[in-house]
Structure 1
């Protein structure tokens, strides 16, 4: 996943999520960029806002994605994988195909137009109280790998509780990888 997604405020479910978090934080719909504050379904199962990107150890930049294949083992993601699993709602996410000197932007969404729920990891800085999230990625589905070799892990609603509260998140995530269908927009 390259690093952008979109929250369509015309969708009733997403509009409700935005309304819930806007009471406490100024937040926008539309295109979401790294370092933006965005709505997230927290590890506690409540909608809240978090900042997209874990700060790098040297303080220079952010890590916005984590590879699903290695996140449970990497120092930066090990603890969030155990206690900070979250879900990021979106209408769609973007990928860019390189064609010579140009980039072509594609939007990917659920075929039924329901929100896309991306698997994520979160953590809170104990000194500042700021909560951060990253999006988990996986190898791209064969139908879109010509555009980009990675894509977000998309979790269907029926396994959200297993992802947030279950004791075997790796199996939950792996099971979801082959179940999701996509539509180009």
Structure 2
């Protein structure tokens, strides 16, 4: 069976963002598996405008070439892991906009989350899961939450992610196992349809 193609998406576009650090850690961890082909996708490099199409691309093709480029990129994958901060108890505006810029391309694929912040981005991840359901995705149960003292270690004290692996590795393994299982199931369903 061919490997599943999984995107690890950095959802923050701020200049001072922390997201690339856990995203690269996730890519390295997932790349050790023989069932996943993982690619880092940085929202910052897509320069997406705020959603301004007539409707989602389910109802009409998008006109902005930047939205079309995003749709093409997202459509390449069998599943996604979104690395997110938590801003005011929700996901980043950039990620919400990225969800809105595509519709068809997200459908019938699994999505998981790695969150960081005071409470491990738990509110942001819950909000993102609700959005994913509306996009006909399969949000997996397990998530990685870098919060509390682990967050302080890696963000404020600038210690490497390896220092907190004992606290997050079990969740990371479960997340990857669930992405792989649902990725195989949903790919088979898409192929059969």
TM-score (norm 2): 0.28
Higher share in strand: 1
TM-score (norm 1): 0.29
